[in-house]
């Protein structure tokens, strides 16, 4: 009887160990550790190699929203190393000092998205993001059936007429000078005429709803869109 019990206990241990090992493997699969992406949009846990889940994508959404409403990424710097430092120290570097006209719901959504993974909005799924006050009145169920505000005219399969033309003479390898000009204009409380250096968005009016002053020919040459 004693031998039988010992064998039975040994068999149970052999069963538990594989199950425990499988459970540990499954937990590890929930975290990724690869470092892929552009520093401006990478979540801090990704840069720190702490392991991350799909919640890191909601951090990127917060960065993109900040850039869309303000005109430049929240952690923009002249070098990737400086950008990564700002992202890792986001509690000290995230600033809204140039955003006096930002609505409370927009600011709150950005703040909740640019959080640590444990408290970040969206960590429990997209529903809690959709329920935020920023999206009040938006019908997500009928979103695909709503008419688009702009319908591009496409004449043929490879038609690129809806994109800005690329001028080889305007290609730049270093846009730090342009970044400084953006910072100086933001400090004056005005959006730059060309709000994005990496996208085609243009803001033709300032915060008061008045047309922005047209840049001089020299400014146009230095502040024109950057193609990389």
The more confidently predicted of residues 81 and 28 is: 81
- How many angstroms separate the CA atoms of 85 and 94, rounded? 12
pLDDT digits (tens, 9 = 90+) for 146-160: 888 888 999 999 998
Nearest to 74 by CA among 113, 127, 35, 128: 113
Q: What does the pLDDT look like over 60-112, one tens digit per residue? A: 999 999 999 988 899 999 888 999 999 999 999 999 887 778 899 999 999 99
* Domains (range + CATH), the chain: 39-145 (1.10.510.10), 168-223 (no CATH)
> ∠ CA(32), CA(76), CA(214), 5° rounding?
140
Q: With the CA atoms of 70, 74, 79 and 82 taken in that order, what torsion angle do they form, in degrees rounded to the nearest 10? A: 150
- Confidence at 22, pLDDT banded by 50, 70, 90: low
Report which of residues 92 and 171 the model is more confident about. 92
To the question of pTM greater than 0.75 for the whole model, the response is no
Question: Which pLDDT score is estimated for 130?
Answer: 95
* ∠ CA 66-72-76, rounded to 5°: 105
What 3-state class would DSSP assign to 112?
A: helix
Residue 59: pLDDT band (50, 70, 90) is very high
Q: What DSSP designation does 141 have?
A: T
> Using CA atoms, how far apart are residues 220 and 37, in angstroms rounded to an integer?
31
Strand partners, 21: none
Confidence at residue 57, expressed as pLDDT on a 0 to 100 scale: 94
CA distance readout (Å), 222 to 83, 200, 210, 218: 24, 16, 23, 6
User: In percent, how much of the chain has pLDDT > 90?
Assistant: 33
Instruction: Quickly state the pLDDT bin for 204 (edges 50, 70, 90).
Output: very low
């Amino acid at each position: 009887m004693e031998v039988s019990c010992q064998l039975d206990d040994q068999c149970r241990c052999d069963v538990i160990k594989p199950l425990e090992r499988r459970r540990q493997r499954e937990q590890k699969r929930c975290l990724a550790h690869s470092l892929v992406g552009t520093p401006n949009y990478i979540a801090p846990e990704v840069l720190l190699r702490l392991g991350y889940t799909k919640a890191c994508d909601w951090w990127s959404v917060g960065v993109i929203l900040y850039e869309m409403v303000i005109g430049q990424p929240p952690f923009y710097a002249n070098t990737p190393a400086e950008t990564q430092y700002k992202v890792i120290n986001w509690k000290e570097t995230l600033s809204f000092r140039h955003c006096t006209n930002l609505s409370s719901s927009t600011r709150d959504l950005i703040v909740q998205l640019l959080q640590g993974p444990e408290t970040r909005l969206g960590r429990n799924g997209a529903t809690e993001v959709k329920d935020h006050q920023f999206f009040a009145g938006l019908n997500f169920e009928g979103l695909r059936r709503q008419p688009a505000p702009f319908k591009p005219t496409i004449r043929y399969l490879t038609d690129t007429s809806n994109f800005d033309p690329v001028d080889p003479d305007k290609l730049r390898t270093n846009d730090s000078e342009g970044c400084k000009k953006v910072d100086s204009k933001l400090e004056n409380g005005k959006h730059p005429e060309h709000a994005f250096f990496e996208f085609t968005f243009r803001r033709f009016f300032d915060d008061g709803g008045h047309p922005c002053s047209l840049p001089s020919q020299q400014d146009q040459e230095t502040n024109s869109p950057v193609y990389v």
